[in-house]
């Protein structure tokens, strides 16, 4: 069964952009991540295709500015999936290779013309410490 056009077009847009982008369904399953996002996940989309929340959420550890673990419910993407609103946060991630990076994430819901909620998009970018 085909994904809604809103998800398909989100992927086509993400595929054309230089910023890392994740696209999930309403339950957080990772439907698509673009080439720049492969660096963050440490995996290639071509190899993994879609990933369940359990599979992709363990790919990195999230920490706040003080180095404390960041609970999932405080991550922008999770917040968007919960309340269907845009969110933004700057925090640290540590990938499977142990590499820590300070990133900013903006997430927004994919809500179609008829008001249906289809999932969320998260845009990442590296944010050096000021």
Partner 1 sequence: MKITLRGVRGSIPTTSPATKEYGGDTSCVEVEADGCLLVLDAGSGIQNLNLAGKIKNNRVDILLTHLHMDHIQGLGFFKPLFSVDTEVHIWGPASATQSLRVRLGRYFSPPLFPVYFRNLSCKLVLHEIEKSSFSIGPFTIQSCFVTHPGPTVGFRIREGEKVFTYIPDHEPALGRNGMLKDLRWLSGSDLALEADLLLHDAQYTMEEYRDRMGWGHSAMEDTLQFASLTRVKQLLLTHHDPMHSDAQLHTIYDELKEKFPTAFPFEMAVEGEEFEL
Handedness of CA 38, 43, 48, 52 (dihedral sign): negative
6-14, 38-46, 57-65, 96-104 -> range binding partner 1 (CB under 8 A)? 6-14
Judged by CB under 8 A, how many residues of this single chain contact partner 1?
17
From 2-10, 52-60, 63-71, 98-106, span contacting partner 1 (CB under 8 A): 2-10
User: x/- binding map, residues 12-41, to partner 1, per CB under 8 A?
Assistant: x--xx-------------------------
Among 6, 39, 64, 101, binds partner 1 (CB under 8 A): 6
Report the nearest approach of partner 1 to the CB of residue 43 (Å). Answer: 18
* CB-based contacts of 64, cutoff 8 Å, min separation 6: 70, 91, 92
Alpha-carbon distances of 57 from 1, 5, 22, 30, rounded to whole Å: 25, 26, 12, 9
CB 121 within 8 A of CB 110: yes
Nearer to partner 1, 8 or 59 (CB): 8
Residues whose CB is less than 8 angstroms from the CB of residue 94 and which lie 6 or more positions away in sequence, other chains included: 60, 61, 63, 100, 101
Q: Specify the stretch interacting with partner 1 by CB under 8 A; choose among 54-62, 73-81, 86-94, 114-122.
A: 114-122
């Amino acid at each position: 069964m085909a994904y809604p056009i809103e998800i398909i077009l989100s992927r086509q847009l993400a595929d054309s952009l230089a910023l890392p982008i994740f696209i999930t369904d309403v339950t957080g399953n990772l439907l698509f991540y673009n080439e720049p996002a492969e660096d963050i996940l440490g995996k290639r989309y071509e190899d993994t295709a879609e990933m369940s929340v359990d599979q992709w959420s363990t790919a990195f550890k999230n920490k706040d500015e003080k180095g404390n673990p960041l609970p999932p419910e405080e991550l922008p993407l999770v917040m968007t999936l919960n309340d269907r609103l845009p969110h933004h946060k700057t925090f640290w991630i540590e990938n499977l290779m142990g590499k820590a990076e300070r990133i900013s994430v903006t997430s927004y819901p994919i809500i179609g013309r008829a008001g249906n909620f289809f999932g969320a998009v998260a845009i990442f970018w590296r944010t050096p410490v000021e």
